[in-house]
Amino acid sequence: MTHNINISENNLSYYGKTLMLRGFAEFISWKHIKNSSDYHHTCIVRDIIKVIKANNFQTIVWDGDLYRSDSFTHLVYELMNSLPQGTEFVAYKPNTTSSKFIYGDSKNCELGWYQLKTNKRIDILLNEVVLPDGLKWFEKNTLLTKYIYSDIIDKSSKLSVFYIGGGKVISNEMQNLHEYIPESIRSKVKLRFLDIPRSSFNIDDDGFPIAAIQYLGNSSESIDPLDVLPNGYVMTKENTNIVLNFSKVKYLVEYKYN
């Protein structure tokens, strides 16, 4: 039996042990990304779910991106079908675009979260964030990110942030984490990173399509997150069950502020 996802106003005052997911919003070739280790599955999504499931998170949070099968939000959807009943799913979205979140964006052929089917009853708790008028897109994103971090930190007993690759927005966030995470709790927030790239097509000067692979920060080559994170962050753990041979940091890596 399948169920439509229900979307309601967020009324949670406590998130408990929380995982925030961040990453590329499109052009991830999930079905082509395979774990280089034979220890687990050939599908990297299943391996990521195993890691997340083992940590017993009470709440999964993301920044309100729409569902796409080629986005990090595909992982959110898979977690809805895999994590225990009672796991909370919380999204943050500017109030002016919340209808797209619920019903989709026909211009981009996107499915709304309400239209997706799950194998158990799932309720997405939606925070509709009011932002000032007249802001540029990047300014809106920065304000939304600050709001999300502030609200999550206030409601969580523990916070982990999982970066699944990510473009310039994500690398900018990582560079400026000190603006989002107060010094008093910095050492308690765990960061995870897995070097998932995205692939897309660009048009060259002659009008022909060319393939493009992008890593963290939209870089054409894999880079080490320690080259992006502020001073003070150190690698604390490598999960060697997940191996990506194309990555400069081959494993699922954990960082903490020292």
Q: Are 161 and 192 in contact (CB under 8 A)?
A: yes
Give the span between the Cα atoms of 249 and 224, in whole angstroms. 6
Which pLDDT value is given to residue 39?
65
Give this prediction's pTM.
0.94
Of 35-44, 98-107, 143-152, the one with minimum mean pLDDT is: 35-44
Q: What is the mean pLDDT of residues 19-23?
A: 98
Closest CA to 165 of 30, 17, 51, 18: 30
Helices (H), the chain: 44-54, 73-82, 98-103, 137-155, 168-175, 177-180
- DSSP per position, 104-153: --GGGTPBPGGG-EESS--EEEEEEE---TT--HHHHHHHHHHHHHHHHH
Position 150, amino acid: S
Q: Could you list the residue range(s) of the whole structural domain that residue 47 is in? A: 3-257
- Checking if the pLDDT of 108 tops 80, the result is no
Give the tens place of pLDDT for each residue, 184-239.
999 999 999 999 999 988 888 899 988 889 999 999 999 999 999 999 999 999 99
Which pLDDT value is given to residue 237?
96
Instruction: Look at the chain and report how many structural domains it folds into.
Output: 1
Q: Report the DSSP beta bridge partners of residue 88.
A: 59
- Checking if the pLDDT of 38 tops 80, the result is no
Give the span between the Cα atoms of 32 and 196, in whole angstroms. 11
Which pLDDT value is given to residue 40?
67
Position 84, amino acid: P
Q: What is the mean pLDDT of residues 167-193?
A: 97
Q: What is the mean pLDDT of residues 135-144?
A: 91
Which pLDDT value is given to residue 192?
98
Residue 200 burial (10 A CB sphere; 0-12, 13-18, 19+): middle
Give the span between the Cα atoms of 234 and 257, in whole angstroms. 6
What share of the chain in percent tops pLDDT 70?
98
Residue 101 CB partners (closer than 8 Å, separation 6+): 7, 64, 66, 91, 93, 112, 113, 126
Mean pLDDT value across the chain: 94
What share of the chain in percent tops pLDDT 90?
84
Q: How far apart are the two ends of the chain, measured CA to CA in Å?
A: 48
Q: What is the CA radius of gyration of the chain?
A: 18
